[in-house]
């Protein structure tokens, strides 16, 4: 019975039941979709205020602004190296395996939702991306839930408060507000099994067995590539920093299962911000690196886009030389950044890439739309694991990581002393 109280066990049971319902009664399974949508909506509602409070309270305790600048440079450097390696790996494996060879899908056209997505993505430009970081108003950043915009405002406010002083009444109010937000989050997380059940049931019910087998080679290639990236590349990055990727994955086991069930990395961001601080990473590092990583350190998205672009070229018999692939990789370095980390977000970025790279047929999006939901859980998983590792790596680089607290938290979690259905016992204390 004690095991059933663990969140990841509850979510796993919900996922199994959802798959069974989706295969046995597809129509009934699709009707469960509002459960998943409502749960994700509740969590996305909490994102902006929690990011704001966490970043502000973290940066307010940074006495040296040069430390903040150094932290930002190290984080962006780390993000760019890892995502570039992910893209290069994607291009290598898709060229070796060639999953799209032989499809001869030359006469594809866009219709329905795919056409709408492509039209929306056509507005993406480098200038538009950087300008979009600046919100129209302070309020609009929160009302629209744009992570980059909220992070931008949070950094400004946190830096300003650090200059005013830690005794600021505003800082006290934000700290108390953060405690309340995490209490609310604890209530919402009790609904996680229902949310995972609704999202997974709707996915299986909508696509059915036939679609689960459709383009199986591409799906298998992507999952195996991500497994290799996680074990070898992320494992090496962790080892170089003197960390254990396996132990980090054990730390976030609840978040891994929840991410898989909902195919969204955003649903676990608030929990991660609380947990990683309690597990030994400094508040300022967690508050800055984790939200920034959700826009700039998306290795799962990067691998997906590289494989998808080359797959479309193969499937449509479009010549795609290695010189062109290098040029597209340069485009992907931009188009893979920003945006949302919910299910389908990577597909929108792919559409933006094809709008930019005119050498590839835009109709190729139709090939991937059906299996996008099969790839989405893996995309989200790699992004979450990669960003969690990034927090600990950069915290250690900065000398702001406490391994004793990590070991203690992991031991308490294994012993069941930390309640996994909520965040009451792991909410940040507000101290730097």
Q: Which of 26-35, 183-192, 281-290, 413-422 has the lowest mean pLDDT?
A: 413-422
Predicted pLDDT of residue 68: 73
Q: At what angle do helices 345-356 and 372-397 cross, to 10 degrees?
A: 90
Is the four-CA dihedral 293, 296, 297, 299 of positive or negative sign? positive
Confidence of residue 356 (pLDDT cuts 50, 70, 90): low
pLDDT at 371 over 70: no
Strand boundaries in 45-201, DSSP class E: none
CB atoms < 10 A from the CB of 170, how many? 13
Confidence of residue 396 (pLDDT cuts 50, 70, 90): very high
Percent over 90 (pLDDT), the chain:
19
Predicted pLDDT of residue 112: 47
Q: Across 8-22, 68-82, 125-139, 256-270, which has the greatest mean pLDDT?
A: 68-82
Q: Secondary structure of the chain: what % helix, strand, coil (to 5)?
A: 75, 0, 25
Confidence of residue 118 (pLDDT cuts 50, 70, 90): very low
* Nearest residue to 88 via CA among 239, 265, 310: 310
Q: Which of 25-29, 43-47, 149-153, 389-393 has the lowest mean pLDDT?
A: 43-47
Confidence of residue 319 (pLDDT cuts 50, 70, 90): confident
Tell me the average pLDDT across 30-51.
Answer: 80
When the pLDDT of each residue in the chain is averaged and rounded to a whole number, the result is 78
Confidence of residue 54 (pLDDT cuts 50, 70, 90): confident
Predicted pLDDT of residue 35: 87
pLDDT at 245 over 90: yes
Q: Across 280-294, 326-340, 412-426, which has the greatest mean pLDDT?
A: 280-294
pLDDT at 239 over 70: yes
Question: DSSP for 22-84?
Answer: HHH-HHHHHTTHHHHHHHHHHHHHHHHHHHHHHHHHHHTT---HHHHHHHHHHHHHHHHHHHH
pLDDT at 101 over 80: no
Confidence of residue 281 (pLDDT cuts 50, 70, 90): very high
Predicted pLDDT of residue 388: 96
Predicted pLDDT of residue 203: 67
Q: Which residue has the higher pLDDT, 63 or 148?
A: 148
Q: Which of 67-81, 113-127, 279-293, 369-383 has the lowest mean pLDDT?
A: 113-127
Q: Which residue has the higher pLDDT, 178 or 75?
A: 75
Predicted pLDDT of residue 226: 94
pLDDT in tens, 194-222: 887 887 787 677 655 544 444 678 888 99
Predicted pLDDT of residue 121: 47
Q: Across 51-55, 183-187, 229-233, which has the greatest mean pLDDT?
A: 229-233
CA distances from 417 to 188, 253, 274 (A): 20, 15, 16
Predicted pLDDT of residue 313: 83
Predicted pLDDT of residue 373: 67
């Amino acid at each position: 019975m004690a095991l059933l109280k663990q969140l990841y066990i509850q979510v796993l049971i919900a996922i199994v039941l959802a798959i069974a319902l989706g295969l046995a009664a597809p129509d009934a399974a699709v009707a469960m979709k509002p459960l998943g949508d409502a749960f994700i909506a509740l969590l996305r509602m909490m994102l902006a205020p929690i990011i704001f409070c966490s970043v502000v309270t973290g940066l307010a305790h940074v006495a040296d602004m040069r430390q903040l600048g150094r932290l930002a440079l190290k984080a962006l450097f780390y993000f760019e190296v890892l995502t570039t390696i992910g893209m290069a790996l994607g291009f290598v494996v898709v060229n070796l395996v060639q999953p799209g060879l032989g499809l001869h899908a030359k006469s594809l056209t866009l219709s329905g939702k795919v056409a709408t997505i492509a039209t929306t993505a056509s507005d993406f430009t480098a200038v538009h991306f950087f300008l979009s970081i600046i919100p129209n108003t302070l309020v609009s950043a929160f009302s629209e839930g744009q992570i980059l915009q909220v992070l931008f405002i949070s950094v400004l406010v946190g830096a300003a408060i650090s200059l005013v002083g830690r005794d600021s009444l505003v800082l006290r109010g934000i700290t108390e507000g953060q405690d309340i937000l995490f209490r609310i989050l604890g209530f919402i997380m009790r609904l996680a099994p229902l949310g995972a059940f609704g999202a997974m049931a709707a996915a299986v019910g909508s696509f059915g067995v036939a679609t689960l087998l459709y383009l199986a080679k591409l799906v298998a290639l992507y999952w195996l590539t991500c497994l290799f990236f996680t074990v070898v590349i992320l494992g090496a990055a962790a080892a170089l920093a003197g960390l254990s990727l396996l132990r980090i994955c054990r730390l976030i086991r609840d978040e891994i299962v929840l991410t898989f069930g909902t195919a969204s990395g955003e649903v676990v961001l608030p929990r991660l911000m609380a947990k990683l601080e309690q597990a030994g990473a400094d508040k300022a590092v967690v508050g800055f690196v984790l939200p920034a990583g959700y826009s700039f350190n998306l290795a799962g998205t990067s691998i997906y886009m590289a494989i998808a672009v080359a797959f479309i070229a193969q499937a449509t018999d479009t010549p795609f030389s290695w010189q062109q692939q290098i040029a597209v990789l340069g485009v992907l370095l931009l188009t893979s950044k920003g945006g949302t980390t919910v299910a389908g977000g990577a597909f929108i970025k792919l559409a933006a890439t094809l709008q930019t790279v005119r050498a590839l047929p835009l109709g190729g999006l139709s090939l991937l739309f059906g299996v996008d939901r099969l790839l989405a859980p893996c995309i989200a998983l790699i992004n979450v694991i990669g960003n969690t590792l990034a927090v600990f790596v950069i915290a250690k680089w900065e000398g702001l990581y406490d391994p004793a607290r990590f070991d203690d938290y992991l031991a308490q979690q294994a012993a069941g002393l930390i309640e996994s259905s909520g965040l009451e016992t792991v909410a940040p204390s507000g101290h730097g």
